Amino acid sequence: MLKRSLILVWVAVALCCTACRFLGVTVTYNMSGGSLDPRVKTFSVDYFPNKAPLVMPTLSDTFTEKLTEYMRQKTGLTQLTDNDGDIRFEGQITEYSQRPINITSEEVAASNRLTIGIRVKYTNVIDDKYDFSSTFSNYADYSTDADFNSVEESLIEEILDKIIEDIYNKAIVNW
């Protein structure tokens, strides 16, 4: 019974793919879940300057490199420079802030929160209906007992990973 069900599922998938092709509908599938137009072959990531009131000196380089590497690994597109790709990312870092959270009854913070915000302008030269300009923000909490200088780098990595995944999902997966 299970074997018969699997055969029926495969037949249904094959019929759907054939019907889409027959009707002239382009369906793009890839292993990363993206849905880029097959005509998109290149991407570019401009340098993201740090315009936040509180500046972490290496944050611009770190974010720009991480976004570039993520796009290279997840999409298989060819990287171009000078903002000349079929899809383009540009923007700036707008927030880098710390604040106490989880205030106790004695008005003492139980933990702190590091927040990073990045404004991104995404341009799809092939199909401009996917263009956007949005701010992506995320945070990581850490104990007030921790020395911020010793945890800062790992917090930044964690936050940037979340932000880059959000950017990818909006630009490539179209969520």
What's the pLDDT tens digit per position in 102-129?
776 677 778 999 999 999 999 999 999 9
Query: E strand or H helix at 167, and its extent?
Result: helix 148-168
Q: How many angstroms separate the CA atoms of 166 and 162, rounded? A: 6
Q: Can you give the pLDDT at residue 6?
A: 45
Instruction: Give strand pairing partners of 122.
Output: 89, 132
pTM equals: 0.78
Query: E strand or H helix at 102, and its extent?
Result: strand 87-103
